[in-house]
Amino acid sequence: MAAPSSTLVFKVHRREPELVRPAKPTPYEVKLLSDIDDQQGLRFHIPVVQFYKHAPSIRGKDDPVAVIRRALSETLVPYYPFAGRLREGPNRKLMVECTAEGVLFVEADADVRLTEFGDQLQPPFACMKELLFDVPGSNAVLHSPLLLIQVTRLKCGSFIFALRLSHCMSDNPGLVQFMSAIGEIARGSHAPSIPPVWERYFLSTRSPPRVTHTHREYGQQATIDDNNTLTTMPHNFDSMAQISFFFGCSQLSALRRHAPPHLRQSYS
């Protein structure tokens, strides 16, 4: 059995961080974030790490770092707001200035094999700082790159793709769509199979989507204090415990058994 990643020690050689810009000219504009996206509780960066096992079928083909860098640049053409910077307007309203400045990209090599990370690749990873370098001055919410990506080659031919994303810019489904677009272009597509929402609406209606209903779930939340008194609590998540958890087949099966009938399909 391989040693767990919590005890793994290895060296990483990184090249200087660079800015990857869109491969073609993109519109300069300012896009207001929705009231949902610019909440105080979402003003932070979220890290993601993905491990890719070496496939013998791609031996001798293009370097994964070069392929990903090129695909990222091309993906930033339809996803051009990611290459911009967040600004803050009156009443702390967030907006993204589409400046095409680019996203941060770090190329790295590690003297370790994928099998040395252990049999179960799941967080927390004690070596996360090695896999995702915190470029000095890059982690502010405003006026900083909205994406930081590090691609690390391993000795066995595998590689690790780690990123840090401004949560104001995207939730998990949005990130999955963006990552899928990079993967499609890396495999030879000329454009994502699913265009970004702003591009779809522009092409179909020439106007952006607008909120037409009051979403009370994003207002103040009711809660019960120790005296059994109903109070309200603002959206301040600073005091919440942040832990990692893992959903496997057995956990999903339990959710399906106990979920209400109209939600069971969500866990399929």
Question: What are the structural domains, with CATH classification, of the chain?
Answer: 5-205 (3.30.559.10), 218-267 (no CATH)
Predicted local distance difference test score (pLDDT) of residue 42: 84
Which candidate, 112, 102, 107, places its Cα nearest to that of 68? 107
pLDDT digits (tens, 9 = 90+) for 191-234: 899 888 765 444 444 555 566 777 665 565 555 455 555 444 44
Predicted local distance difference test score (pLDDT) of residue 243: 64
At position 37, the amino acid (one-letter code) is D
CA angle in degrees (0–180, nearest 5) for 148-243-10: 55
3-state helix, strand, coil in the chain (%, to 5): 30, 20, 50
Omega of the bond prior to 124 within 30 degrees of 0, cis?
yes
Structure letter (DSSP) for residue 149: E
For residues 41 and 235, what is the distance between their CA atoms, to the nearest angstrom? 6
Tell me the angle at which helices 64-75 and 172-186 cross, rounded to the nearest 10 degrees.
120
- Residue ranges of the chain with pLDDT lower than 50? 1, 3, 200-205, 224, 230-234, 267
